[in-house]
Amino acid sequence: MVTSTITTKDFLTVVNERQSIRKYNPDVIISKEELAEIIEIAGKAPSAWNLQHWHFLVIHGKEAQQRLLPIAYNQQQIVDASAVIAILGDLEANQNTDAVYDQLVQMGAITKEVKETLAQQIETAYKNKQYARDAALSNASLAAMQLMLAATAKGWSTCPIGGFDAEKFVAEFQIPSRYIPVMLITIGKSSAPAHRSTRLPVEATTTWVVE
């Protein structure tokens, strides 16, 4: 059963409806085209210097998902979901500098001098390996959240998964050393409600500095 969704919901509805779904209807198929649309929206997430520190590995199809199953500790949602999207953080996002900024120079949005100044700042930052790792994780996580919200807006359920063997994942799917696994996201149609959950009150998670 192939399902496609063209309707969308308002933002607050999406945020309030999004839940982590762990049980999916295994008979529902999501098209490559719809996955690409969701990923395109995810790619509009903000990122440091707009370097877009993410790569999406789409595991789409039951055979491919079966390869992932033992790596993700045999969580049934891996094979029942319509697809699994691995979010990878880019440790070498500085290599995107020309691709990002040359277009802006050609458009007249920035000068060559501004581009060179930004490029120097980026290269200086990326001499620090810890910064590169931190930036890969934090910026790719922004895209991951945006992907889940986009999927919810289009009527799909998702679940972020941190429980998997990263080393085995890298080996099985031949992930280049440029990328670091951040999380897996299952996507599909729910076959059961999400686990009940609560949220801490704003007062417990917020400190105000008012001057």
For the chain, give the mean pLDDT: 95
pTM: 0.92
pLDDT at residue 7 tops 90? no
> At 157, which amino acid appears?
S
* Nearest of 187, 168, 175, 186 to residue 89 by alpha carbon: 175
CATH of the structural domain 2-205, one choice from 3.40.50.1980, 3.40.50.300, 1.25.40.10, 3.40.109.10: 3.40.109.10
- At 3 the pLDDT is 53
Average pLDDT of the residues in 5-16 = 77
Report whether pLDDT(1) > 90: no
pLDDT band for 170, please (50, 70, 90 cuts): very high
Tokens standing for 135?
């930036």
Q: How confident is the model at residue 9 (pLDDT cuts 50, 70, 90)?
A: confident
**SS3 annotation, 166-177:** HHHHHHHCCCCC
Mean pLDDT (whole number) for 92-115 = 97
Looking at residue 196, its pLDDT comes to: 86
